[in-house]
Structure 1
């Protein structure tokens, strides 16, 4: 099994020796003894006994890491060794729905479950972001943090066990099922930071968060229901620099008068969230129970966009005498509802369920303009509606038996999934081509979807699967799984997995796994189309189109039908536990993926414009892109996890931390088709900019060392995180490809919580207490001083955040 570079591995070993590292913290002593339900059919395996690496995060872990701002994604980034959740800005839809990564892979290559049932993705395609570009990710922040009992994270390919998309791993969110407890919690915080590009101390990002949950038993046979509500309000942040005025704008007196002002916004937009959830079980018969659960999220958000100058072609001074900066508005509604029954049929356990997930997103703009309509243009637009529906019907059977010198759990089942993706046109004024033909058409900062852009796609997916988890004596265990999956539009695929663990002595065991996995192109990647007018990477105002691979224009440019991604995962590692105080695990992995799906480079220039107009009668197309099977990739990495705990004073000291390394390399890069080269020999279908997105835009390394001390009244926690280097590459054309590698950054978080009574507690704390920022971008990347910080670093660009919290439990 190939291993990562020596330097990162050396750091991992140094971390293990200097301060034990782990991904699992604890409510009491440790989560290591929690019986896991993810990645195996066995009913009695714990974290260190699993054949593949699994992290378990408790409700207390999530509460302390994520409740300060109500974001589950932020909590997972703080706690998991290889989870990345960057903060986007000026990134289109990614300003509203943030994408997450596991093991440095794409956001759509991790499968998310809630109570073991498949979670749906967002409807909004991230086409202007860096991380997650071209994907429709699962919206982690639509899952209420107060609803969580624990989270199990399987860091290994699991397509044979759970179906497509489980390439990097599986994140299983398990909901609170305790009917005898409840809580009311409120927190308030804000950023208070020194912003060096403007030499000012700023207080912003004020965030208030409220949650309440309660439960009750139903009857005397174990039935219950649990419900909860969350409200969150976040004000925006801004880390933009002083405008130096782009050289390609008209250097008129009115434009130059804006020099030295903050005309842009770089940071988090305003947002308001409402989350609600329910989890219930009701016994029936002698051995069965009905269950149901659901989550609901409604979120209104704002996003940032580039400034339009007073005398630019995108403005009329009668409307905006001093120029304008469009603000995007997102109306996001997300829901999941699951109902089912489980119990015993003789020697078999059964679980039959129906799972429905829905996301719809309405995209609007304010402070915008359709310049082609002239001074009478509206300034507010609806640019499009997006919707995704997923329905899953599942029947799962399992039973235990003894044979061949061991105890076994056999599982089998069938599953049917239906997916539907729809987009609807925006306001006619958002895409209209008006009488001012010398001006750009469509609403600025995102032209509306046209009737020709609308998509309505659906497909059926059916699968059958089987698995066998075995324990041979006290030392040897295995997991074997196989799955047959049939896509209506892509045909059939077999996936399989073999994993094993052998314990040489109670203090040492080795484990290994091999699997093949499958990720079909999403319906949005197949059918999404959009027309927009905005600024390209070099700051030039262009009218562009994202074309589906079925569009005749895209096919004339060389687009091919998308193929599914196929991967092979290998892992090898060891676990060790010495007494009740110390444990460690180290796992190496390699993930080979063929036919990675990505957006092409933006193809632009006079040759493209003329070709589209001459052959298709569509004028003014200055840029075009479409989805491609871009490359084969190989990702190699390592993850270190360990724990050390000891009694100290009147409490317990727990040292915690994480380390991960993941490096992705490109192989067999797709060539530029002859159709494009015939237009211009300098055209590149998939070049340095989009290659950078897949390989170096995400930090390769992540380490964290933490300590917590808990007594009957006090809880003290701290965490020092290190995020590794990341590299940004732009391609401005003509061979000009400015590149910058941003150095590693450290983030210090700490919290003190005091229990006034057994029911009441108060806490104060801070994140990024040393007020660290990423490196400032070089002039070629900072867009004339306006955007001094890039969005690549997980540390973000908001600076220090301080908060207080009060909690009442009952």
Structure 2
């Protein structure tokens, strides 16, 4: 088939949120720039191929590093995972990744988002794309070490971040969770990111089973930075034989710093992003259950569905500041804000389908889900010294509000008078916390150096609420046909909920050098939950320097995670694939609801985990370091969604006994599994002279395998087991080469994403299963320092235009979804971009 150029119109999105098409010159700039990337790609590949030989020669050569490649870049002082003030990456007792501001900005990709950058840089971080996944099209969940998204704790400047209000019910990754939305934190606000890959519940509280991500905001006291980027996807799409240009993206940011006194500062910024949708759907083959009418058959061979990125418009802002009150006291404050509107895709409804009214949509229709996300975090505090104690007293408040809707839809039971746009529900999440942290050196008899003692108190209140949608979004009308908004229905007034929780905790942390070569740290924490009682957690970590270059490190810890408020009280109905793969309405209910108890649900219990890790660090030269850490994580009473209960006559039972109409399946949250995750992480990096310039090479790899040790067969089905065990890649490798000479710089990053497996359970033994092969991704960038203030860059993500394996016929939904969402490489193809940054 000959290739043609195709672009998604995006008219409905422009009508819904008022976006204007991108200027032609902006669209074409990165497209023309990609022609210049071929020599850059070849040069970057050369870096990767020759890098291994250079590393092997590193110890035999005497290097003279420049200021940009000093060992300080390899060994920054850490503020996460320990409360000692002299800990670096090299002597940390647990594995910690430190990502610089420049690393994050260069890896953000077409999303222009923080989570996309983290996935590009950290092999243990998984952030797959979603499509036709309801709310997950608008708020994506991320994983660390293959565990659930709500099992990682996120901090901003060391203060707990609030969670998203939206509960993902139609996604594969993070199904049934409402974790932190990383993408609500502006990229331009980031100074660096520290990621602790170890359980840290005893140090920071619940949610830290998989680890901790601490985003440290920009604290530069002076200077202005302006950045602008434009890009688009340009791909040869094999399922349709066409070349596609879409997903046009433009973003810009402005940050400015002001010095306040001797040490004080105020840094603030604003950024915006506008992205058009992408579409990677295949040619429709018309599902078997649809009538073979002339109008329905006319849709065959067309692209009726949309699989890809949602259209997005967002604005973000931040500030970070501090002012000296005296020589030993400082007041500080910081905050972030985002408003985001997005439009996702839903399944196509055929002209002569029972889900259509032909007088309204004579050619059928594809509903579009809409999301309006508003996010805010504000924190303020005092820090300083009083006597031998250093203190930090703070108050932190965060909130997230999400309005969920659908447009180009129908409530068939209302007939021709049905609206075509519906508000499906309101979701809100709140977190207010107060913290007091105290640290001081303590002289311990027999120790040559003082130990560090840390004590702390914290209290927090969490709130979660949902509000009903439009009455028409769930109404049961007088006409024949499905009730409720298609691609909905809305949240009913009886399902709206309002929950709160209060937690008070205290901790003690003691770290000490027991000898010249041996250091250890112990932490103990006690929390009281007003709804889940008391919880005590502990952690012990240690590091032993065997030689000047080699050290052993390890940690054991216990962790506790109470069910989120959403998991306790959330109720909602979605349209999903049901028995035989047909579209049906599935209702999620609380475990302690009338329907939940009727179907055998038990009250939820808290998750408890036991973590253990053992690692080796090796630094044979000042500019060469390697770490290898193995770990095991056992989680008891792990919370997941039950399998979909959809027996014969269930719809009639729900209608007659509970007044719930049109629901063919039900699931609920359950403690149905105990899991064990085993894995290992490897990070090695070298910096020195090479290829006529300065060269930095790194290899980061991650492996993890989760197995289900015990589970309740009646509650946890094959799809849920798949979600926990094999839906995310077990292996990822990231090879990076960075080269700089004068005003020129090149970057090449080759990533191997491991295999993933998709399982559907459509009932009656029909269980389509497919394993998607591992796939390589190449990202390249060339940078030119035009002047001291101006930097220009061009680059490509997935420069070789790779895709995952094509889905089998049983999973591709009659040719409409040729690629699954599981692979981290995504299903959009190559993305080309150009960026300009002005600093003064």
Q: TM-score range by the shorter chain?
A: over 0.9
2 CA distance for matches of 1:179 and 1:258? 60
Tell me the equivalent position of 1:89: 131
2 CA distance for matches of 1:560 and 1:774? 39
2:199 aligns with one of 157, 161, 179: 157
Asked whether 1:735 is paired with 2:777, we answer no
Deviations 1:624-678 (A, max 9, x none): 1111112000000000011111113653100112100000000110242xxxxxx
Tell me the equivalent position of 2:413: 372
2 CA distance for matches of 1:132 and 1:68? 22
Asked whether 1:486 is paired with 2:528, we answer yes
SS at match of 1:238: coil
Tell me the equivalent position of 2:309: 268
2 CA distance for matches of 1:271 and 1:641? 35
Contact 1:450 1:531 in 2 (8 A): no
1:213 aligns with one of 255, 275, 280: 255
2 CA distance for matches of 1:146 and 1:754? 20
2 CA distance for matches of 1:431 and 1:295? 35
2:823 aligns with one of 788, 793, 799: 793
1 CA distance for matches of 2:110 and 2:161? 25
Deviations 1:384-410 (A, max 9, x none): 000000001011111012323132110
Q: How far did residue 19 of structure 1 move? A: 8.9
Tell me the equivalent position of 2:468: 425
2:510 aligns with one of 454, 457, 468: 468
Q: How far did residue 611 of structure 1 move? A: 3.0
1:668 aligns with one of 698, 701, 710: 710
2 CA distance for matches of 1:84 and 1:744? 14
Q: 1:287 to 1:726 in 2, by over 3 A?
A: same
2 CA distance for matches of 1:464 and 1:806? 47
Tell me the equivalent position of 2:789: 759
Q: 1:705 to 1:206 in 2, by over 3 A?
A: same
Tell me the equivalent position of 1:598: 640
1 CA distance for matches of 2:473 and 2:709? 41
| TM, length-normalised to structure 1 | 0.94
Q: 1:531 to 1:69 in 2, by over 3 A?
A: closer
Q: How far did residue 471 of structure 1 move? A: 1.8
Tell me the equivalent position of 1:6: none
Asked whether 1:413 is paired with 2:456, we answer yes
Deviations 1:325-363 (A, max 9, x none): 000010000110000000011110110000101000000
1 CA distance for matches of 2:381 and 2:434? 10
Pairing 1:691-706 to 2, within 5 Å after superposition: 691-706=721-736
2 CA distance for matches of 1:777 and 1:18? 39
Deviations 1:278-302 (A, max 9, x none): 0000111230000000000110011
Contact 2:69 2:688 in 1 (8 A): no
1 CA distance for matches of 2:307 and 2:543? 48
2 CA distance for matches of 1:689 and 1:68? 30
Tell me the equivalent position of 1:809: 839
Tell me the equivalent position of 1:626: 668
2 CA distance for matches of 1:605 and 1:764? 56
Q: 1:238 to 1:508 in 2, by over 3 A?
A: same
1 CA distance for matches of 2:576 and 2:615? 48
Asked whether 1:720 is paired with 2:763, we answer no
SS at match of 1:321: coil
2 CA distance for matches of 1:467 and 1:383? 47
Contact 1:68 1:187 in 2 (8 A): no
Tell me the equivalent position of 2:62: none
Contact 1:144 1:295 in 2 (8 A): yes
Tell me the equivalent position of 1:616: 658
1 CA distance for matches of 2:206 and 2:749? 35
Contact 1:583 1:642 in 2 (8 A): yes
Q: How far did residue 489 of structure 1 move? A: 0.6
Asked whether 1:277 is paired with 2:308, we answer no
Contact 1:27 1:60 in 2 (8 A): no
Q: 1:440 to 1:206 in 2, by over 3 A?
A: same
1 CA distance for matches of 2:110 and 2:408? 32
2 CA distance for matches of 1:501 and 1:124? 41
Deviations 1:718-769 (A, max 9, x none): 0000000000000010011010000000000000000011111111100001
SS at match of 1:75: helix
2 CA distance for matches of 1:132 and 1:531? 17
Asked whether 1:400 is paired with 2:441, we answer yes
1:328 aligns with one of 369, 385, 405: 369
Q: How far did residue 582 of structure 1 move? A: 1.4
Pairing 1:84-483 to 2, within 5 Å after superposition: 84-219=126-261, 221-403=262-444, 404-405=446-447, 406-436=449-479, 438-483=480-525
Q: How far did residue 439 of structure 1 move? A: 0.9
Q: How far did residue 152 of structure 1 move? A: 0.5
Number of paired residues?
A: 779
Q: How far did residue 179 of structure 1 move? A: 1.2
Tell me the equivalent position of 1:11: none
2 CA distance for matches of 1:374 and 1:605? 29
2:774 aligns with one of 727, 730, 744: 744
Q: 1:564 to 1:411 in 2, by over 3 A?
A: same
Q: 1:321 to 1:443 in 2, by over 3 A?
A: same
SS at match of 2:248: strand
Q: How far did residue 181 of structure 1 move? A: 2.5
Contact 2:733 2:751 in 1 (8 A): yes
Tell me the equivalent position of 2:15: none
Contact 2:580 2:766 in 1 (8 A): no
Q: 1:260 to 1:563 in 2, by over 3 A?
A: same
Q: How far did residue 45 of structure 1 move? A: 1.1
Contact 2:231 2:834 in 1 (8 A): yes
Tell me the equivalent position of 1:4: none
Contact 2:225 2:256 in 1 (8 A): yes
Contact 1:485 1:493 in 2 (8 A): yes
Gaps of 5+ in 2: 1-48, 57-66
Q: How far did residue 477 of structure 1 move? A: 1.1
Contact 2:51 2:737 in 1 (8 A): no
Pairing 1:524-543 to 2, within 5 Å after superposition: 524-533=566-575, 535-536=577-578, 538-543=580-585
SS at match of 1:525: helix
